[in-house]
Amino acid sequence: MTALPLKQRFQLSRFVLGEKAQAGEITLNQRRIFILPTQRGLNFVVLIGLLLLIAFVYNNNLAYLLGFLLASVFFIAILHSYRSLAGLTVRAGQTTDAFAGESAGFEIRLTNPTPVARSLVSISLENTETLALAADSITALTLYKKATQRGVLTAGTITIASTYPLGLFRAWSPLRFDMKALIYPKPAPASSPIPEAYGEQTYRGQLKKGVDDFYGLNAYQPGDAIRHIHWKAFAKGQGLLSKQYGSEHSGEIWLDYQQTAGHNLEERLSQLCRWLLDAEQTGLHYGLKLPSLTLEPGHGQAHLTTCLAELARF
Amino acid sequence: MPVSKSHLLFILSAIGLIVLPHVKHIPASVFGFFYVLLGWRFIAVWQTRWLPNRAVVLVLSIAGIAILYRQNLGILGQDAGTNLFITALGLKLFEIKAQRDLYLIVFLAFIVASSQFLYEQNVLMAVYILLVCTLLLATLVTVNSYRTQTRQALKTAATLILQALPMAIVLFILFPRLEAPQWLVLEEDHKALSGLSEVLEPGSITNLGLSDQLVFRAKFTGNIPPPAERYWRGPVLYYTDGKHWSQPDAQRLQKPPQLTGEPYRYTLLMEPQSKNWVFGLDMPGTVQSPLMQQANYQLITGDNPEKRSEYHLIAYPNYNTGELGEPLQQETLRLPGEPAHRIRELVEQLHGFDGPPQAFIDRLLNYFRQEEFHYTLTPPLIEHNPIETFLFETRHGFCSHYAAAFTYLMRVAHIPARIVTGYQGGELNAVGSFLEIRQANAHAWAEVWLQGQGWVRVDPTAAIAPERIEHGINIDQQAVSGALSFAAQTVRPGTALSWLKHARQTWDNLDYNWQRWVINYDNSNQSQLLSSLGINDIKTLVYWLLTSIGSFTALLSLFLLRKTRSQPDPSRLLYQRFCRKIARHGLTRHPSEGALAFAGRINSLLPARAAEVNRITHLYLKLRYGQHARKTDFEQLRKSVSKFKA
């Protein structure tokens, strides 16, 4: 760890936000750990004052001694507070991507390489996890942060804190890691079905022709292809029904940005996202066409993640 | 964080223990009320439906206030405050919802703990309170731990207290002691303290209780006076109506006596007294404020006697008080009426009217010795003419009877005489080499004025029971058997009794030092101690305070934080040693080069050492990354690296 210039060392943001984000491991030491009395600690000072007042009024030496003892305990608690965090190493782990509106997960690996057990350590991002760390132990845990916007979400400041041993002081260390989670677009409501595979030429030879393999009717939903509407039923006054074709379960389709309907970029990406999820779920082989890039059709979780990641970065 | 069952058990036990010693000082109703609430809360830890609702808590609070109100204690003052805090503590137990409430209870408990010291300040109480404070801190530790581990919490709390003690002691010594301003001092209740009284009435006492309660201690620098010279002077009684003997009005000493002989220098540590009498060894030399010497040579103090106090005194074994003034002569010769015929006959028989005074005294003492006079602590009750009845009929009595009878007979023979009360003897504490004087050492003797010698001490009890003077009363035995014994306290060394005696003396010595250095440490002690350390002004004091706290903190940090540095892996250290050796061949490992790759590079350049290098690399990798590394592997690595020739 390099020494900090004096000006940087006294920046107020270090106390709250932590230092500049960095990759790799951070060891908690005197530069990273801050200690301030809690509300209870301040009340304890008032208590000590009261005890000394009693001692003073009654000129009682043992009451003085008790007051001084508690004052010394208060003072020494600072060292113990520091000790509750000092020497721990923190490392960024995996991140869990999420859809906008959900919470992204940031894994933190907390190592106690010292022979001193830590009885209370809390780690917080938006949620707070509390744990104890045995001597020479490693713990991994995941913190969550709510994602509001599509794109890249940085973890921000992760605060490690402890009020051990007496709760009179809080030692804390704000840490920033180079941790980024991808935030996929929020999937559009399941109202627009996957567009019909319009490029029949892409069908693989062994697959049946999907358009012929009629298997049932569904209520019409906006976006259904007009030629799939069951006009006869409509004529009978049964309302708008769409014909569904079996080929959609085994076919290969292209999901194209240009095909999406929506008022703006985000809505259209949401639509694409919904299609990707539905296609994966129904077992289709699907490719993704964005104005800037094309992903060849594929299938499986890995393929889905690649596609979703492209949407997030778009 | 919610409050768990174990937190509750911890805190309830702690405050149960902290209030317990107050049983002696607070009214039974308040004490009972508190423990009923505590017991109730304890049950409710397991049976949560027993928890009272808000209405019941309100009723309980009103009941608590009513109990306090009935005691008529007011609001201010130590009794009122203690009762108020204990009641509040009890009521607060039913309102533990969050950790905040636990903290409030712990803080209240610390105040109750400190109020305990307003009543009792002995070593045992201090240790007890210290232990309970550890328990209170342990409660806070459990609240601030992820898992509740009772032993671990207690250990942490004890560590904190032990580490805090040295700093607390430094603060205790250096913190300036000031007298509280007058408006802050609250009126204290006067407590009944037993001790000598102003009036002596020998005939009315049928059972003189011997209490081993400590009255004062005397620590001598140099010689300790022999038992027969240990007379500690108290009130001097002149006036008598034949039954009671009482003091004259206080008068300041006008003419100090002529003092000769090797002086005894000593420090007198008085326990709290109800009267302002200070028992100086006969005959006290000049005294300093706050002490005053009265015309009858008794010492009195101008300070509050209910506080323990320390005096540096000097005493001379020989003295001559010189001429007797006319008024004093009349007062010390005055008889309540015409003496009885039998008494006049006795004085005449002993040549009190025609012989020299000294001869009469000797004959009278001899008379006491040879006739059937007995020393007893359970004399018969004498309602009329106590002196005459005692001399001719009952003939059983203790020091007061003999002193009164003797003084009376002296006055009949026209020798000025008076009774001196005080203490006689005292047990030598061999451990601390000081004398301890207890209530059982209370004594009364006579003083006669002789031409050319002044006031001379005569102890008629010594004629009846010389052992009483030589050895003192055996308090322990008296307490056990009820019988009186003056057995010489020679306990054979090595026996259980001698161990017991030694243990008791060690304890008394500890108590003496505790009283002297801790309880009694005040403004004057402090300035004395500080100036002996070279601290004479506030600047030096602050300097000392900061230096000692600073250096102590530095030491403690070193001790506490040494283990929070991660220890380098010992096998890695060995490997680094190997790398330094290999470096002499011009081969250095690149930062990104793995151990295996490095070994490959070495082998290609130093094929002769391949076996050794491979062995070391293999062992190192096994120890550092392998699953089944054993201790023997480490030993092998250590040997291989040290054998490896650079």
Contact A166 B141 (CB under 8 A): yes
**DSSP 3-state assignment of A88?**
coil
Rounded to a whole number of angstroms, the distance from the CA of B554 to the nearest CA of chain A is 10
Residues A180 and A257 in one domain: no
Residues of A in contact with B309 (CB under 8 A): none
Contact A59 B179 (CB under 8 A): yes
Residues A141 and A276 in one domain: no
Please, are residues B283 and B231 in contact by the beta-carbon 8 Å criterion?
no
If pLDDT is split at 50, 70 and 90, which confidence band does B168 have? very high
Residues of B in contact with A62 (CB under 8 A): 114, 117, 121, 125-126, 129, 518-519
Contact A61 B561 (CB under 8 A): no
**DSSP 3-state assignment of B326?**
helix
- Residue A178: inside a domain: yes
Contact B519 A62 (CB under 8 A): yes
* Residue of B8 and B375 predicted with greater confidence: B8
Please, are residues B108 and B89 in contact by the beta-carbon 8 Å criterion?
yes
Smallest Cβ distance to B147: which of A55, A132, A166? A132
Residues of A in contact with B518 (CB under 8 A): 61-62, 65
Rounded to a whole number of angstroms, the distance from the CA of B283 to the nearest CA of chain A is 33
If pLDDT is split at 50, 70 and 90, which confidence band does B183 have? low
Contact A165 B121 (CB under 8 A): no
> What is the predicted pLDDT for the residue at B480?
39
Smallest Cβ distance to A57: which of B125, B152, B184? B184
Smallest Cβ distance to B171: which of A43, A72, A164? A72
**DSSP 3-state assignment of A284?**
coil
Residues of B in contact with A27 (CB under 8 A): 566
Residues of B in contact with A80 (CB under 8 A): 160, 560
Residue B77 φ/ψ, nearest 5 degrees: 105, 160
Residues A219 and A130 in one domain: no
- Token readout for A229 is 């509407």
> pLDDT by residue (tens digit) across A142-191?
999 998 888 888 888 899 999 988 999 999 999 988 888 899 888 888 76
Smallest Cβ distance to B171: which of A51, A71, A113? A71
Q: Is the pLDDT of residue B51 over 50?
A: yes
Residues A247 and A161 in one domain: no
Please, are residues B437 and B217 in contact by the beta-carbon 8 Å criterion?
yes
Residue B523: count other Cβ atoms within 10 Å of its Cβ.
12
Residues A295 and A207 in one domain: yes
Contact B164 A119 (CB under 8 A): no
Contact B167 A80 (CB under 8 A): no
Q: Which residues of B are catalytic?
A: 399, 443, 459
Of A155, A184, A213, at which residue does a domain stop?
A: A184
Average pLDDT on B74-91 reads: 84
Of the residues B101, B117, B147, B307, the best mutation for testing chain A's interface (the one with the most A CB atoms within 10 Å of its CB) is B117
For the residues of B243-293, what is the DSSP string, one character each? Answer: S-EE-----B--SPPEEESPPEEEEEEEPP-SS-EE-EESSB----TTEEE
Of the residues B10, B85, B103, the best mutation for testing chain A's interface (the one with the most A CB atoms within 10 Å of its CB) is B103
> What is the predicted pLDDT for the residue at B487?
41
Residues A210 and A84 in one domain: no
Q: Is the pLDDT of residue B133 over 80?
A: yes
Contact A164 B565 (CB under 8 A): no
For the residues of B107-174, what is the DSSP string, one character each? Answer: HHHHHHHHHHTTT---HHHHHHHHHHHHHHHHHHHHHTSSS--HHHHHHHHHHHHHHHHHHHHHHHHH
Rounded to a whole number of angstroms, the distance from the CA of A112 to the nearest CA of chain B is 8
> What is the predicted pLDDT for the residue at B599?
87
> pLDDT by residue (tens digit) across B218-276?
988 888 888 888 899 988 888 888 888 888 887 787 788 888 888 899 988 888 887 88
CA distance A178 to A175: 10
Contact B565 A87 (CB under 8 A): yes
Please name the residue of chain B whose CA is at the shortest distance from the CA of residue A57: B180
Residues of B in contact with A120 (CB under 8 A): 144-146
Q: How many structural domains comprise chain A?
A: 2
- Residue A74: inside a domain: yes
CA distance B351 to B359: 8
> pLDDT by residue (tens digit) across B443-482?
889 999 988 888 999 988 887 777 666 665 554 444 433 3
Please name the residue of chain A whose CA is at the shortest distance from the CA of residue B188: A58
Size of interface A-B (CB pairs under 8 A): 168
In sequence order, which residues have a C-beta less than 8 Å from that of residue B384 and are 6 or more positions away?
Answer: none
* Residue of B282 and A48 predicted with greater confidence: A48
Contact B184 A83 (CB under 8 A): no
Of the residues A43, A48, A58, the best mutation for testing chain B's interface (the one with the most B CB atoms within 10 Å of its CB) is A58
Smallest Cβ distance to A87: which of B125, B130, B566? B566
Rounded to a whole number of angstroms, the distance from the CA of A57 to the nearest CA of chain B is 5
CA distance A274 to A307: 12
Rounded to a whole number of angstroms, the distance from the CA of B87 to the nearest CA of chain A is 18
Q: Is the pLDDT of residue B189 over 50?
A: no
Report, as ranges of residue numbers, the positions in chain A whose pLDDT lies below 50. Answer: 1, 198-211, 247-249
> pLDDT by residue (tens digit) across B332-360?
888 888 888 888 888 888 888 888 888 89
Q: Is the pLDDT of residue B616 over 80?
A: yes
Residue that the structure tokens 């207690």 belong to: B154
| DSSP tag of A185 | P
CATH number at residue A13: 2.60.40.10
Q: Is the pLDDT of residue B494 over 70?
A: no
Please, are residues A80 and A165 in contact by the beta-carbon 8 Å criterion?
yes
If pLDDT is split at 50, 70 and 90, which confidence band does B193 have? very low
Residues of A in contact with B99 (CB under 8 A): 167
Please, are residues B447 and B454 in contact by the beta-carbon 8 Å criterion?
no
> pLDDT by residue (tens digit) across B575-612?
888 888 888 888 888 766 778 888 888 888 888 888 88
Residues of B in contact with A165 (CB under 8 A): 140-141, 144, 156-157, 160
> What is the predicted pLDDT for the residue at A210?
45
Residue that the structure tokens 């290609």 belong to: B604
- Residue A1: inside a domain: no
Residues of B in contact with A58 (CB under 8 A): 78, 118, 180
Smallest Cβ distance to B180: which of A27, A59, A116? A59
Q: Where are the domains of chain B?
A: 5-143, 207-481, 570-643
Residues A18 and A53 in one domain: yes
Residues of B in contact with A89 (CB under 8 A): 566
Task: Return the sign of the alpha-carbon dihedral for residues A108, A113, A119, A120.
Answer: negative
Residues A171 and A241 in one domain: no
- Residue A190: inside a domain: no
Of the residues B160, B174, B183, B556, the best mutation for testing chain A's interface (the one with the most A CB atoms within 10 Å of its CB) is B160
Please, are residues A195 and A226 in contact by the beta-carbon 8 Å criterion?
no
Contact B165 A69 (CB under 8 A): yes
If pLDDT is split at 50, 70 and 90, which confidence band does B191 have? very low
Residues A172 and A209 in one domain: no
Q: Is the pLDDT of residue B313 over 80?
A: yes
Residues A210 and A295 in one domain: yes
Of A151, A184, A217, at which residue does a domain stop?
A: A184
Rounded to a whole number of angstroms, the distance from the CA of A63 to the nearest CA of chain B is 5
- Residue A30: inside a domain: yes
Q: Is the pLDDT of residue B327 over 60?
A: yes
Q: What type of residue is A17?
A: L
CA distance A102 to A146: 6
Average pLDDT on B516-521 reads: 79
* Residue of B518 and B20 predicted with greater confidence: B20
Contact A59 B144 (CB under 8 A): no
Residues A211 and A180 in one domain: no
> What is the predicted pLDDT for the residue at A180?
87
Look up the domain containing A254 and give its range.
200-313
**Bridge partners for B443 per DSSP:** B422
Residues A163 and A305 in one domain: no
Average pLDDT on B134-139 reads: 93
User: Please, what is the average pLDDT of chain B?
Assistant: 83
- Residue A19: inside a domain: yes
CA distance B264 to B261: 9
Of A132, A153, A184, at which residue does a domain stop?
A: A184
> What is the predicted pLDDT for the residue at B525?
76
Contact B164 A80 (CB under 8 A): no
**DSSP 3-state assignment of B220?**
strand
ipTM: 0.78
**Does an H or E element contain B6, and which?**
helix B5-19
CA distance B557 to A35: 15
The angle at the Cα of B191, spanning B187 to B193, to the nearest 5 degrees, equals 140
Contact A167 B140 (CB under 8 A): yes
